[in-house]
Amino acid sequence: MAALTASIPYPVRLDVDYPEQQSRWKALFRLPLGIPLLIFSYLLQGSVALAIWAAVLVRGRIPRWLFDFQVAVNSWHARATGYFLLLTDAYPPFEGDYAIRYEVAYPGRVSRWRLVIWKFLTSIPHFLILLVLVLTLVVVLPIAWFAILITGSFPRGLHGYVAGTMRWGARVQAYVLSLTDEFPPFSLSAEAGPAGRSSYIISSVIGSLAAVAVIGLFVTLLVAFAVGSQHIEAQVSYARLVAGATQHGEGIAEVHSGRFELRGAVDPADDLYAFLTAAPGHRLVEFRLVMENYRGAGQTVPIRASRFNLLDTEQGNHESLIVTVNRSDVAPIDIESGDEATLQLLFELPDDADPAELQYDVLEYGGPFGEQIDWQFE
Residue 225 included in any domain: no
CATH code where residue 234 lies:
2.60.40
Residue 18 included in any domain: yes
pLDDT tens for each residue of 2-45: 333 445 789 999 999 999 998 888 888 888 877 887 788 777 77
CB atoms within 10 A of CB 152: 15
Residue 222 included in any domain: no
Alpha carbons within 13 angstroms on the beta-carbon side of residue 237 total 10
Distance in angstroms (rounded) separating the CA atoms of residues 232 and 229: 10
Residue 89 included in any domain: yes
Residue 156 included in any domain: yes
230-236 vs 371-377, strand pairing mode: parallel
Same domain, 31 and 81: yes
Same domain, 36 and 80: yes
Domain boundary among 190, 217, 244: 217
Same domain, 171 and 243: no
Quick one: pLDDT at residue 5?
Answer: 41
Same domain, 146 and 239: no
Same domain, 163 and 241: no
- Name the domain count of the chain: 2
Residue 195 included in any domain: yes
Domain boundary among 161, 186, 217: 217
> What is the span of the domain harbouring residue 262?
230-377
Same domain, 187 and 243: no
Same domain, 151 and 271: no
Domain boundary among 194, 217, 240: 217
Q: Is the pTM of this model over 0.85?
A: no
Same domain, 119 and 237: no
Same domain, 203 and 241: no
CB atoms within 10 A of CB 128: 12
> By the 8 A CB rule, do 365 and 231 touch?
yes
Same domain, 82 and 13: yes
Same domain, 147 and 28: yes
Instruction: State the distance between the two ends of the chain, measured CA to CA, in whole angstroms.
Output: 81
Q: What is the 3-state secondary structure (H, E, C) of the chain?
A: CHHHHHHCCCCEEEEECCCCCCCHHHHHCHHHHHHHHHHHHHHHHCCCHHHHHHHHHHHCECCHHHHHHHHHHHHHHHHHHHHHCCCCCCCCCCCCCCCEEEEECCCCECCCCCCCHHHHHHCHHHHHHHHHHHHHHHHHHHHHHHHHHHHCCCCHHHHHHHHHHHHHHHHHHHHHCCCCCCCCCCCCCCCCCCCCHHHHHHHHHHHHHHHHHHHHHHHHHHHHHHHHCEEEEEEECHHHHHHCCCCCCCCEEEECCEEEEEEEEECCCHHHCCCCCCCCCEEEEEEEEEEEECCCCCCCEEECHHHEEEEECCCCEEECCEEEECCCEECCEEECCCCEEEEEEEEEEECCCCEEEEEEECCCECECCCEEEEEEEC
Same domain, 54 and 132: yes
Residue 224 included in any domain: no
Residue 335 included in any domain: yes
pLDDT in tens, the chain (378 residues): 333 344 578 999 999 999 999 888 888 888 887 788 778 877 777 667 788 888 888 888 889 999 999 999 899 899 989 989 999 988 888 888 899 999 999 998 888 888 878 988 999 999 999 999 999 999 999 999 999 999 999 999 999 999 999 999 999 999 999 899 999 999 999 999 999 999 999 999 998 898 899 889 888 777 766 555 677 888 999 999 999 888 888 889 888 788 899 999 999 998 888 788 899 999 999 999 999 988 778 888 888 888 899 999 998 999 999 999 988 889 888 889 889 999 999 999 999 999 999 999 887 544 445 678 899 998
